[in-house]
């Protein structure tokens, strides 16, 4: 049988992982922004765009992913408090 204390420990570990994942996604977002900027600058005089089309789609998805992580973290924290 699992104790409430063990569940709280598991929830805190989940929170830690969500925070780490959030930081990693933010770093990836910044790196992609920098890459797009560099490629845009480098391709200013190039006949075709150097920025892959998928980069724009990836950039557009970051806010939703970050929001999902924040909401998940809040739910896990709330559950831990209610225990």
Residues 21-34: tens digit of each pLDDT: 999 999 999 999 99
**The pLDDT value given to residue 1:** 67
CA dihedral 45, 50, 56, 62 (to 10 degrees): -110
Stated pTM of the model: 0.84
| E-state strands within the chain | none
Write phi, then psi, for 81 (nearest 5 degrees).
-70, -40
Residues 32-60: tens digit of each pLDDT: 999 999 999 998 888 988 999 999 899 99
Give the span between the Cα atoms of 53 and 59, in whole angstroms: 10
The residue among 83, 72, 73 whose CA lies nearest residue 2 is 83
Quick check: 83 pLDDT over 90? no
């Amino acid at each position: 049988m699992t104790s409430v204390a063990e569940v709280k420990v598991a929830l805190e570990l989940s929170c830690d992982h969500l925070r780490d994942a959030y930081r990693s996604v933010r770093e990836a977002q910044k790196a992609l922004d920098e890459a797009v900027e560099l490629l845009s600058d480098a391709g200013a005089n190039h006949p075709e765009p150097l920025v892959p089309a998928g980069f724009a789609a990836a950039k557009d998805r970051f806010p939703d992913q970050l929001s999902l992580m924040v909401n998940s973290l809040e739910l896990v924290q709330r559950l831990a408090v209610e225990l």
